[in-house]
Structure 1
């Protein structure tokens, strides 16, 4: 299989020439998706190692820009704001990029790659066939037509981070372990500490963060489950913060109400501040969501509840022990909507809070043992 993957990765005819080429102006495109942005960070690090003197910019939405803005490997963020679309096109054109890497893989991102005028434009190949037809299978919306070089897709049973790193053989990037580190501003950390203090959480207090939100309906563990975990944390002496976006506020509010003493911070943090909140915590409990990937990138103890999605493809990177899931024949299904599920959401409804609490305690014991060895 390894040989097959290596052959598939380098099928572009001029790959050797590309590996030895030097680029001075590079644009990396990953517009949005908190987890997707976190998954792209190792590519940024490897690009900087390969092209130490290059200007490396990142095209990204304003909402997610603060996650990457302070990264030492990045030169600039280029903000994708829809209201300034024409100005953005002019800005990209004026930059005279010679290499564009589109890891977003949609029509709009491919359009930006074309507009750049870059002589080398790299993105994933067209979708491949898959038995599970609802997950990622390749570039979408015919975006692959815009690329001068396509990243082959030899298998789908691989984590998203490793999939992005298939770019490596095309450009001659190093094969060092991926660096997922998130670099946040000191102001972001101060904002979060001030927010916690406003809710009665002092800097010395141990903190557990619960992130019950996610866009897919089917990936949401039960409100009752999260509330029971929150109550156990409170009983164990933790402060508990329930975090999420404005979209998550109804769920977060119900969880905080059912766990007296938990503070509801939903809708009160930016993505970067959510990262700082998780960085402040001793442990984090999530669904399969962006918050989970932030916890991994920040090296925090965490537990994530999985049901319709595959931990192999999108789970916490190299942290299988952090996944709690039921071994059901229908899982993973990759259905997004509850109306698609013929089994009454069994993968989530049958997963108990006791299972999650037990795993949390195992993770914390392991983290404590590792800390004592250092």
Structure 2
């Protein structure tokens, strides 16, 4: 099915969050641009993820949904003020005269915003929570589950978009590049460093702090290479259990914006992380990346020779949001430091002695 009968349509992509899911969906921008070179492509996103899209070379506009403002009015029961804010935002959206809105999140909130845009054609990917009633067309999720970004690849195929170069992309501003370069020089990391991304939203996706500390000791013993630990402001408390005076560890947890973290990842010799947006960012940046997956398994095929997944499924895998192991998280416990070091050495081209 064709996305549009117009050669230069105005298209709105709606994917509000989360970091990893937005990264997975970015190939849609290039696919649309290839099929419709004159299209005006906009993306509607939450404020905290805006930095992932600001510098994408094929995206015309990033629109921020003022979620916090709306939620504040809702909690305060300021209904009139909420209605005015919604009406104002609707006017801003409709001024762009969108021909097509693609709701690739499929939730009620994203479907409502796609409907609010005024786009005559609204196509939802796996729409649920009642959002399907706000779509003019719904496409069920499909594709090969083990392949990275497969549901968006499948979606693009059904929309008759070219998928021959379906790659994730994060643009970097010159400011963030310069900041990363200056920071690397100040820390004496010009000869290379490893980035680790240990933090995520749910405990069942975490590798154990003791394992991270053991890994840091192994990296120091075998490679004597500095390690930069990345994470968001909400991860600072958790980072204390890993940052225990390890030689060569530099914690940047909560110290960078998304764009700055991306610029550092682009310069890293190797990225090791759990199922979190920063880890997926390593693959998007085409850097050697080792992913440690357990309760969730967003993909097994990274689509890149320099990126691999360690995943030891059990009979309950993947449990996603409903673990049945009473907090033992054995699927993550099965990932050993020796295995991580061996796989990492191959990806990054680092020699490894006897473990």
TM-score (norm 2): 0.86
Q: Choose which of 306, 309, 313 in structure 1 pairs with 2:293.
A: 306
Task: Give SS of 1:49's match.
Answer: helix
Task: Give SS of 1:145's match.
Answer: helix
Q: Choose which of 199, 219, 224 in structure 2 pairs with 1:237.
A: 224
Task: Give SS of 2:44's match.
Answer: strand
1:322 aligns with 2:308: yes
After alignment, is 248-257 or 55-64 more displaced?
248-257
In structure 2, relative to structure 1, the CA distance for the partners of 1:146 and 1:156 (3 Å cut) is farther
1:28 aligns with 2:13: yes
Q: CA deviation at 1:310?
A: 2.3
Q: What CA distance in whole angstroms lies between the structure 1 residues aligned with 2:132 and 2:176?
A: 37
Q: Which residue of 1 aligns with 2:73?
A: none
Q: What CA distance in whole angstroms lies between the structure 1 residues aligned with 2:336 and 2:226?
A: 22
Q: What CA distance in whole angstroms lies between the structure 1 residues aligned with 2:6 and 2:350?
A: 45
Task: Give SS of 2:240's match.
Answer: helix
Q: Which residue of 1 aligns with 2:107?
A: 106
Q: What CA distance in whole angstroms lies between the structure 2 residues aligned with 1:210 and 1:154?
A: 32
In structure 2, relative to structure 1, the CA distance for the partners of 1:300 and 1:154 (3 Å cut) is closer
Q: Which residue of 2 aligns with 1:216?
A: 202
Gaps spanning 5+ residues in structure 1: where? 1-14, 125-137, 368-374
For these two proteins, the number of residue pairs brought into alignment is 334
Q: What CA distance in whole angstroms lies between the structure 2 residues aligned with 1:364 and 1:64?
A: 29
Q: CA deviation at 1:55?
A: 1.2
Q: Which residue of 2 aligns with 1:177?
A: 165
In structure 2, relative to structure 1, the CA distance for the partners of 1:242 and 1:336 (3 Å cut) is farther
Q: What CA distance in whole angstroms lies between the structure 1 residues aligned with 2:165 and 2:350?
A: 22
Q: What CA distance in whole angstroms lies between the structure 2 residues aligned with 1:309 and 1:317?
A: 18
In structure 2, relative to structure 1, the CA distance for the partners of 1:173 and 1:51 (3 Å cut) is same
Q: What CA distance in whole angstroms lies between the structure 2 residues aligned with 1:226 and 1:25?
A: 47
More helix by share: 1
Q: Which residue of 1 aligns with 2:175?
A: 187
Instruction: Flag as ranges the 4+ runs of structure 1 deviating above 4 A.
Output: 18-21, 317-321
Gaps spanning 5+ residues in structure 2: where? 71-84
TM-score (norm 1): 0.82
In structure 2, relative to structure 1, the CA distance for the partners of 1:212 and 1:66 (3 Å cut) is same
Q: Which residue of 1 aligns with 2:75?
A: none
Within 5 Å, which residues of 2 pair with 1:1-374? 15=1, 18=3, 20-82=5-67, 83=69, 85-86=85-86, 87-124=88-125, 138-154=126-142, 157-159=145-147, 161-197=149-185, 201-235=187-221, 236-257=223-244, 259-312=246-299, 316-318=302-304, 322-335=308-321, 340-342=324-326, 344-365=328-349
Q: CA deviation at 1:203?
A: 4.6
After alignment, is 155-164 or 297-306 more displaced?
155-164
Q: For residues 162-187 of structure 1, give each alpha carbon's deviation from its aligned partner in whole angstroms, at most 9, with x where no partner exists.
A: 21122324432113131223210111
After alignment, is 208-217 or 176-185 more displaced?
176-185
Q: CA deviation at 1:267?
A: 0.4
Q: What CA distance in whole angstroms lies between the structure 2 residues aligned with 1:305 and 1:275?
A: 19
Q: What CA distance in whole angstroms lies between the structure 2 residues aligned with 1:123 and 1:50?
A: 19
Q: CA deviation at 1:319?
A: 5.6
Q: What CA distance in whole angstroms lies between the structure 2 residues aligned with 1:177 and 1:223?
A: 38
Q: What CA distance in whole angstroms lies between the structure 2 residues aligned with 1:343 and 1:296?
A: 29
In structure 2, relative to structure 1, the CA distance for the partners of 1:342 and 1:350 (3 Å cut) is same
